[in-house]
Chains A and B, each alone.
Chain A
Amino acid sequence: MDIWLFYLFALVIVGASLGVIGQRSPMHSVLFLILSFGALAALYVQLDSPFAAVAQIIIYAGAIMVLFLFVVMLLNASHEDDDPGARAPVPVGVKVSGCLLALLLLVELTWALTRVGRPAVEKDAASADSVSSVHEIGRVLFTDYAFAFEVTSVLILVAMIGAVVLAKRKV
């Protein structure tokens, strides 16, 4: 039962992710992304961590994607076909680096797939249980993983400042 549910949700995630890049309408892409986030949350539930699942829905599917949708609606972004720039010839350098990146990802995927059969790192049931409670997540986040937590927040701050600088118009 569990394994079938896993394959079902995994299929939805892969299908929805393909939908995101396969769509011409940005609106549909955004919706497919939401679907893929929702299915990902279902996988978290299967992994016995309801907190991660709900956080995934609140933050990604709920907050960030609403903003995406809002921007797409406000700009009334048209189909890519209407944009003459989208059909312009691609420079050779971009093509080569794109191919290299695709090759790299293919190698990585093959490597990852060859390791599928091996058992994952076994944790004792008690610690797996405790991490799923919100209490424990909060404690661990601000003690054992305080450094990673702070670094992440600095990273997000840098991204935010970068976005402001990029978006700023010269007055």
Chain B
Amino acid sequence: MNPAVIAHLVLIVAIFFALQISAAVLVYFERKIAARIQQRLGPYRVGPHGVLQPLADIVKLMFKEELRPKAADTWLFYLAPILSATAAFAAFAVVPFGSETTLFGLLDQPIRLQVADVNVALLVVFAITSMGVYGIVLAGWSSNSKYSLLGGLRSAAQMISYELSYALALAAVLVLANSLSLREIVEHQAGHWLGVIPKWYVFLTPVGFIVYMIAGVAETNRAPFDFPEAEQELVAGYHTEYSSMSFALFFLAEYVNMVTVSAVAVSLFLGGWFDPFGLTPEWLGWVWFLVKVSALLFFYIWMRWTLPRYRYDQLMAFGWKVLLPVATVNLLAVAGLVVWWG
């Protein structure tokens, strides 16, 4: 077989496992950071400083009994977590995380550190994000439980409301870069202004970045927008009736979604794999990508353990009356600037 094809297959498998491992690592850091914020130590018993805690959790989940409510819709009940996890993984396929490399001369032709360089990548991200809602809605409906149904309904309403602002924030970047390919968008952000400020879109459209991050939190159902699973009101929301590996899939999907939203944010607004100081060689770009994604993920966790949950009507009012107008005006302003400056 062609070495380039093999390299590509290896890349696909590597990204798949990297995403799974990142979810495990995130669970560990989430618990540790939450503990620090609340002046506790967090998991400490399994392995040094509790680093093996995620493994223990996975083993525990695997050996739990798979329960299904008697009145549940069997097919949809089992399909829902699979849909959720698939959508979470699929979106990462179009995210570029490094420049072209030959792996130190191992390959004749350089490969791109990206699973698929689609020329409509930005729309693909948006399409897959909009499919993610089905997993949650179906889980809520098929469980045949009122808490699950309420969680599913809330999630559908929330995702529909925030998808608009999310798309408008993406559109602002699209206008700036004049391209839908994430790789081209990242490459547009190379270089510096005045030799110091990196040419990242976050400096051109800071409002767009903020709107994207807020809508991203709402899309991934994280606190302070975690209404679909608000435990004080809905037990556990859409996954109330799930146990064992089905529950684990929802859990996995949530964390992988966080990674994907952060990775897309890094590509769109924070210059992807480019080094802000222009000091490191280009083949180390993926390290910078990792650093930036980790910073955004830390921000996510930090926010979850700092801010209380909104009220549901506040969430809807905020989405439609604040975020959407702001995103629209931002898009118009960016478009106006692009027309003005060329």
Contacts and interface: CB of A to CB of B under 8 A. Distances in A.
Is this pair of chains taken from one and the same complex? Answer: yes
Interface of A: 27, 31, 34, 50-51, 54-55, 57-58, 61-63, 66-67, 69-70, 73-74, 133-134
Given A61-B131, A62-B130, 17 more contacts: A27-B76, A27-B141, A50-B119, A54-B124, A57-B127, A58-B123, A58-B126, A58-B127, A58-B130, A61-B127, A66-B130, A66-B159, A69-B137, A70-B153, A73-B137, A73-B140, A73-B153
Given A61-B131, A62-B131, A74-B153, A51 B76 contact: no
B35 interface: no
B121 to A, nearest CB: 9
Nearest to A50: B120
Contacts of A55: 123
B316 interface: no
23 contacts: A31-B138, A34-B134, A54-B120, A54-B123, A54-B124, A57-B127, A58-B127, A58-B130, A61-B130, A63-B160, A66-B134, A66-B160, A67-B160, A69-B137, A69-B156, A70-B156, A70-B157, A73-B140, A73-B149, A73-B152, A73-B153, A74-B153, A133-B119
Mostly helix, strand, loop or mixed at chain B's interface? Answer: helix
Contact of B127 (A27, A34, A62): A62
Contacts of A58: 123, 126-127, 130
B153 A54 contact: no
B71 to A, nearest CB: 13
A67 B157 CA distance: 9
Interface residues of B, number: 26
Nearest to B79: A31
A34 B87 CA distance: 14
Interface string B143-158: 0000001001100110
Nearest to B137: A69
A158 B138 CA distance: 33
A69 B152 CA distance: 11
B213 interface: no
Contacts of B120: 50-51, 54, 134
B255 to A, nearest CB: 23
